[in-house]
């Protein structure tokens, strides 16, 4: 595949400015490029890591094996009271586009760093509003295990076959086609055409499609409840292997002046409270509504504590900042120390919002 690079350092693609090299590296400028890169990696048996804004991850100093894709997809479509956005769209850009159309409702996302895909995966939010409250549906790329059964072919024309949607469980559709025309391929070809992509998943024999031992990867539109959202979490963040390709949110009529005022005041509050040094934003989840992570850390007496180049911010205790010389190990070691001290002092356990990527000691 063209434009795949090797051994590219990842620190320039994260808000923390830390991280080692990617074994393989690709920048996807749109959803089609993103899907092709995902298929390329699956075909080669490579692990895939997607980076959007890189604002909620700590990447190992050893780097990442497999393919790292920086998602720069950017399309936004507004129709009535809904907006569909590619997963690589920055949240600020999404909110601005919605406001330009005279709609609103998702202004709380405007000053959260990150992208649409990340916001869905982690259920981003503030002021007791969350992405889950407004998400209508999303398109995902994920896998389904093959059961090894012989699968029914609906139609045969020479050496070409059309497969009923039923055995695909409705999970593959070609763009611009209805669900009755799911996919076609030739029995002489190794690769199966799925939604315009070429994926080596099944072999065609004697007018029937037989499952291979490989998992089936598919593009599927899913509703809100698929994600099983919880506070700062979804089934994807909890380990389900899927990539968000786009998301559709509910929007509504708004008072433009009030919406702009809210965003400006929110930005000013953040500037007053939050440090300017590289960080991922709030590092730990609040254990409960009554127990705020930053307050617990401050009460534990470790505001300003430092390991290597990583420091508990003096401005906001739930921020671990890179003072300029931090590496990923410094950040993770400091996070572990914070958890240990808070547990000793308060009896409460802190859980990271940030995701660790790669191998740590």
**For the ranges 22-31, 35-44, 175-184, 228-237, which has the lowest average pLDDT?**
175-184
Residue with tokens 């479509």: 77
Whole-number pLDDT of residue 196: 40
Asked if residue 338 is part of any domain, the answer here is yes
Considering the domain architecture, whether residues 34 and 124 belong to the same structural domain is answered as no
pLDDT tens-digit readout, 272-287: 999 999 999 999 999 9
| Cα 320 to Cα 329: distance, rounded to the nearest angstrom | 12
Asked if residue 268 is part of any domain, the answer here is no
Asked whether residue 212 carries a pLDDT value surpassing 50, the answer given is no
CATH number of the domain that 279 lies in? 3.90.78.10
Whole-number pLDDT of residue 160: 42
341 phi and psi angles, rounded to 5 deg = -70, -45
Asked if residue 109 is part of any domain, the answer here is yes
Considering the domain architecture, whether residues 157 and 306 belong to the same structural domain is answered as no
**Domain assignment of residue 13, given as a range:** 5-71
Considering the domain architecture, whether residues 353 and 230 belong to the same structural domain is answered as no
Asked whether residue 236 carries a pLDDT value surpassing 80, the answer given is yes
Asked if residue 41 is part of any domain, the answer here is yes
Whole-number pLDDT of residue 164: 40
Considering the domain architecture, whether residues 113 and 133 belong to the same structural domain is answered as yes
Cα-Cα-Cα-Cα dihedral of 19, 24, 27, 30, to 10°?
-130
Specify the pairing of strand 355-357 against strand 57-59. parallel
HSE-CB at 209 with a 13 A cutoff on CA atoms is: 28
Asked whether residue 247 carries a pLDDT value surpassing 60, the answer given is yes
Considering the domain architecture, whether residues 195 and 230 belong to the same structural domain is answered as no
Other Cβ atoms within 10 Å of 108 Cβ, number: 22
| Cα 279 to Cα 201: distance, rounded to the nearest angstrom | 41
Confidence of residue 202 (pLDDT cuts 50, 70, 90): very low
Q: Which residues are catalytic?
A: 232, 282, 353
Asked if residue 252 is part of any domain, the answer here is yes
Considering the domain architecture, whether residues 25 and 42 belong to the same structural domain is answered as yes
Q: What is the pTM of this model?
A: 0.80
Q: What whole-number percentage of the chain has pLDDT above 90? A: 70
Asked if residue 266 is part of any domain, the answer here is no
43 phi and psi angles, rounded to 5 deg = -60, -35
Whole-number pLDDT of residue 36: 87
- Spell out the residues 6+ positions from residue 297 whose beta carbon is closer than 8 angstroms to its own: 284, 303, 312, 317, 318, 338, 342, 350
Specify the pairing of strand 242-250 against strand 135-144. antiparallel
DSSP 46-115: --EEEESS--SEEE-TT-EEEEEEEE----EEEETTEEEEETTSBHHHHHHHHHHTTEES-GGGTTS-SB
Considering the domain architecture, whether residues 132 and 241 belong to the same structural domain is answered as yes
336's enclosing H/E stretch is helix 328-346
Considering the domain architecture, whether residues 44 and 134 belong to the same structural domain is answered as no
Whole-number pLDDT of residue 217: 62
Helices 256-273, 91-100: inter-axial angle, 10-degree rounding = 160
Last residue of a domain, one of 71, 100, 120: 71
Q: Is the dihedral of CA 37, 42, 46, 51 positive or negative?
A: positive
Closest CA to 16 of 273, 357, 359: 357
Confidence of residue 228 (pLDDT cuts 50, 70, 90): very high
Considering the domain architecture, whether residues 133 and 238 belong to the same structural domain is answered as yes
pLDDT tens-digit readout, 93-129: 999 999 999 999 999 999 999 999 999 999 999 999 9
Asked if residue 327 is part of any domain, the answer here is yes
CATH number of the domain that 114 lies in? 3.30.465.10
Asked if residue 336 is part of any domain, the answer here is yes
Considering the domain architecture, whether residues 225 and 130 belong to the same structural domain is answered as yes
| Cα 66 to Cα 60: distance, rounded to the nearest angstrom | 14
Last residue of a domain, one of 71, 93, 123: 71
**For the ranges 108-112, 151-155, 347-351, which has the lowest average pLDDT?**
151-155
Asked whether residue 213 carries a pLDDT value surpassing 90, the answer given is no
- Spell out the residues 6+ positions from residue 197 whose beta carbon is closer than 8 angstroms to its own: 35, 36, 39
Considering the domain architecture, whether residues 137 and 226 belong to the same structural domain is answered as yes
Asked whether residue 192 carries a pLDDT value surpassing 50, the answer given is no
* Mean pLDDT in residue range 292-315: 97
Considering the domain architecture, whether residues 255 and 108 belong to the same structural domain is answered as yes
Tokens found for residue 327: 């590496």
Q: How many domains does the chain have?
A: 4
């Amino acid at each position: 595949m063209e434009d795949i690079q090797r051994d590219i350092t990842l620190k320039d693609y994260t808000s923390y400015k830390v991280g080692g090299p990617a074994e393989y590296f690709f920048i996807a400028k749109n959803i089609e490029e993103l899907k092709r890169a995902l298929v390329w990696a699956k075909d080669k048996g490579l692990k895939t890591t997607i980076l959007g804004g890189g604002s909620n991850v700590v990447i190992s100093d050893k780097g990442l094996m497999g393919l790292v894709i920086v998602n720069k997809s950017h399309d936004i479509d507004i129709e009535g009271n809904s907006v569909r956005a590619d997963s690589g769209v920055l949240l600020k850009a999404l909110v601005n586009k919605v406001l330009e159309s005279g709609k609103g409702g998702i202004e709380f996302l405007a000053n959260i760093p990150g992208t649409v895909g990340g916001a869905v995966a982690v259920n981003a939010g503030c002021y007791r509003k969350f992405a889950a409250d407004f998400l209508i549906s999303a398109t995902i790329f994920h896998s389904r295990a093959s059961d090894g059964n012989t699968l029914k072919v609906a139609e045969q024309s020479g050496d070409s076959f059309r497969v009923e949607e039923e055995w695909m469980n409705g999970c593959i559709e070609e763009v611009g086609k209805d669900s009755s025309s799911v996919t076609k391929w030739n029995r002489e070809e190794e690769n199966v055409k799925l939604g315009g992509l070429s994926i080596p998943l099944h072999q065609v024999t004697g007018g029937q499609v037989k499952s291979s031992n490989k998992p089936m990867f598919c593009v599927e539109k899913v509703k809100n409840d698929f994600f099983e959202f919880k506070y700062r979490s979804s089934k994807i963040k909890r380990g389900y292997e899927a990539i968000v390709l786009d998301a559709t949110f509910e929007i509504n009529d708004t008072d433009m002046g009030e919406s702009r005022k809210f965003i400006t005041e929110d930005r000013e509050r953040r500037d007053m409270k939050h440090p300017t040094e590289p960080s991922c934003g709030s590092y730990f989840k609040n254990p409960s509504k009554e127990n705020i992570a930053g307050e617990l850390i401050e009460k534990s007496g470790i505001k300003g504590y430092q390991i290597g180049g990583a420091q508990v911010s003096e401005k906001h205790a739930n921020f671990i900042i890179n003072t300029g010389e931090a590496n990923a190990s410094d950040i993770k070691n400091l996070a572990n120390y914070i958890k240990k001290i808070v547990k000793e002092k308060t009896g409460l356990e802190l859980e990271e919002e940030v995701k660790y990527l790669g191998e740590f000691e």
